[in-house]
Amino acid sequence: MSNHEVLSSVASKKPRLFYGYVIVAVGFIILTVVMGLIFNFGVFFKPFLDDFGWTRAQTSGAYALLFTVYGVLGIFAGRLNDRLGPRLILTVSSILLGLGYFLISRVTALWQLYFFYGVIIGIGTGGCFVPLTSTIARWFVKRRGLMTGIMVSSIGVGSMIMPPIATQLISAYGWRTAYVIFGIVVLVVTLVTAQFLRRDPAQVGQLPDGAGEVNQGSSTLQTQGFSLRETIRTSQFWMLCVMFFCFGYSMHAITVHIVIHATGLGISLVDAAKILVVIGGLNIVGRLVMGVGSDRIGNKRGLIIAFVLLSAGVLWLQFARELWSLQLFAVLFGLANGGVIVLMSSVGADLFGLRSHGAILGIYTFLFSVGGAIGSVVSGRIFDITNSYQLAFWVFAALGIAGLILSLFLKPISGKV
């Protein structure tokens, strides 16, 4: 039987449930917990400073190390996902995450925070985002942007839910017990749900959603596109690398420092944590809107909009001194953040195809993470030297404008962006 006949046979079977929706749901649950806990770090920042007397640069270094490890592992996780699928990778990651959070509760020295949080949690987190988003690209063709947007909007949900929970747990039991509780939650939730993951539709006898409409009769849905070697020879690849680095620098630095910046302005920790809640909520809106919008207006326009919002937000941050003005910044920043995260996967699939999608997405995630690692430490160091975040905010603005300029010059290799 030919490949075309096999695909026709599969397509003729009308399953009651398209399993791709299960993949989206599982990815949503996992990323809600895993990434929500990561973006909780700003809430624990002040307790670390109070208990240990570390500088802001030293403390944010643990977060920077996590995202460096996360980015490096993302490259390997993407390639492993292309070969092995997400279930095994996520199973191992869940064990590391549970162990890491438990060990953080026992920290007594800075090197321990770096190792437990930066290395162990970094490895565990690195095995989650890239395999899940790359898997969604394999399951959906026509509605790839929408489904990616739905799944990664979970990060916004986690960013809304986790900071208030962390604040309450710290107030009631202390930060050490809070980390023990989070360790148990992430281990159980991720380990159980990961068992429902499958790499691609062929493993359950289905075709990607929309494959019949978008690429009728194709026998190479999973192998079309550029190889990794061909991809890295294009200018588009390197433009996107710089754009995601710029965005990662600002995004992670703000996530780490915005709460303690707000408390330094006289805002209470509870109210300051609400800024992360607003960012998380608008993250959801940004991811869903951009997920749907990118399918209609194209990824290039989506990137332009995201960088316009980022640039406007960080410029406004220069003058924000009260809670309402910081929350307005959070609205702009949350929308931009949500849009870029959705587009990382879909723009890669659209420009370069699925042949090496996991590896390409892994590289983008690595540059995004390296930018975040550098941004979080440099911003902390700027404060340690100047006793102000003002210069750090101007750096955010410059990088946002640089990303906007690059997005304006981004061109498709063939067809459309």
pLDDT 10s digits, 15-35? 567 888 999 999 999 999 998
Give a yes or no: residue 415 inside a domain: no
Domain harbouring 61, CATH code: 1.20.1250.20
Q: What is the dihedral of CA 287, 289, 295, 299, to 10 degrees?
A: -60
Give a yes or no: residue 4 inside a domain: no
Q: What is the pLDDT of residue 204?
A: 74
- Amino acid of residue 254: I
Pick from 279, 275, 266, 265: nearest CA to 335: 279
Q: How confident is the model at residue 414 (pLDDT cuts 50, 70, 90)?
A: low
Give a yes or no: residue 76 inside a domain: yes
Least confident of 158-162, 163-167, 203-207, 323-327: 203-207
**Cβ 199 vs Cβ 138: under 8 Å:** yes
Query: What are the b/e assignments for 341-361, b being 16+ CB within 10 Å?
Result: bbbbbbbbbbbbbbbbbbbbb
Return the bridge partners of 209, or none: 140
Tokens linked to 61 = 């270094």
SS3 225: strand
Q: What H or E segment, with its residue span, contains residue 413?
A: none
Give a yes or no: residue 214 inside a domain: no
pLDDT at 257 over 50: yes
> How many structural domains does the chain have?
1
Q: Which domain holds residue 393?
A: 17-200+222-409
Give a yes or no: residue 249 inside a domain: yes
Average pLDDT (204-230) is 61
Give a yes or no: residue 205 inside a domain: no
Residue 14: left (phi > 0), alpha (psi -120 to 50), or beta?
beta
Q: What is the pLDDT of residue 95?
A: 95
Q: What is the pLDDT of residue 104?
A: 95
pLDDT tens-digit readout, 119-145: 999 999 988 888 898 888 788 877 777
Cα dist. 359→73, 123, 231, 354 in Å?
Answer: 11, 17, 10, 10
This model's pTM is above 0.85: no
Angle at 75 between CA 70 and CA 78, to 5 degrees: 110
pLDDT tens-digit readout, 82-127: 788 889 999 999 999 999 999 999 999 999 999 999 999 999 998 8
Average pLDDT (249-278) is 86
pLDDT tens-digit readout, 70-82: 878 877 887 788 7
Give a yes or no: residue 150 inside a domain: yes
Chain mean pLDDT for the chain: 83
Give a yes or no: residue 189 inside a domain: yes
| Helix, strand counts (H, E) of the chain | 18, 0
